[in-house]
Structure 1
Amino acid sequence: MPVDLVPTPGAGPRVTFTGLGGAELIIGLTGQSRQMSRWALGFILIAAAGTALARRGCGSKVIFIVVVLTVASLLALWLPATTDVANGAFMAGAALVPLYILIALVQRLWNSLFVRNM
């Protein structure tokens, strides 16, 4: 599908690019259902692993979240084909933070209300 890039009247200053090789623009089209399926795969995998760590200590949870966020970010940069899965994994890692905080608050409330000190 050929694309003609036409300057817009009244646009800002022209941008130029200088690189080591020739400039190349590649555009790929993906169906939204396939994109959402890949995103959901990354989200579910990390959410399941993170939920399995819910009873572990705070340190292991922090390490898991930092590793997930770092690897997901780098994976999307290094391998663009994995961007959808990496985005889902990143969102799941970010969603684990409030989940872990909520679990800790509920446990603390449960212990203060129903568990008696012996």
Structure 2
Amino acid sequence: SFQYFSRIVAQQERYTQVALASTGLWLYGVPDAPLPDFARTTAVDTSGTPLEHYWFVIAYGPGIHMTLLAEEINATERLSDEPRMYEGFYTFDPNFAYKVITVMHKLFPEQIAEPTMPELLE
């Protein structure tokens, strides 16, 4: 999640490589700018949802499962020159990654497939 698609510009080279190395890449955010044309990438519009205030990265598949989930704090009180601050956590728990992707599937069923249960990943 980039919260806003305009924030991906600074990371464009990195995400070009991630998209090429992944079987699929889902980028969540408010579409305030066009996304670069990344391979195997699905854009998910989070406009008007609580996800606008979260930054998250999930890797889930055979041999990899991690989740970074963080909420931006004081976003509306921050001055424009102050850095963004987040509060959250990072885990390698495959069950947690599965649960987060399941929630995303329920929120965006047309764009996010129902995930495979962790014990069935090979």
The alignment's TM-score, normalised by the length of structure 1, stands at 0.25
- Say which structure, 1 or 2, has more relative contact order (CA 8 Å, 6+ apart): 1
Q: Which protein has the larger Cα radius of gyration, Structure 1 or Structure 2?
A: 1
Between Structure 1 and Structure 2, the one with more helix by share is 1
The alignment's TM-score, normalised by the length of structure 2, stands at 0.25
Between Structure 1 and Structure 2, the one with more strand by share is 2
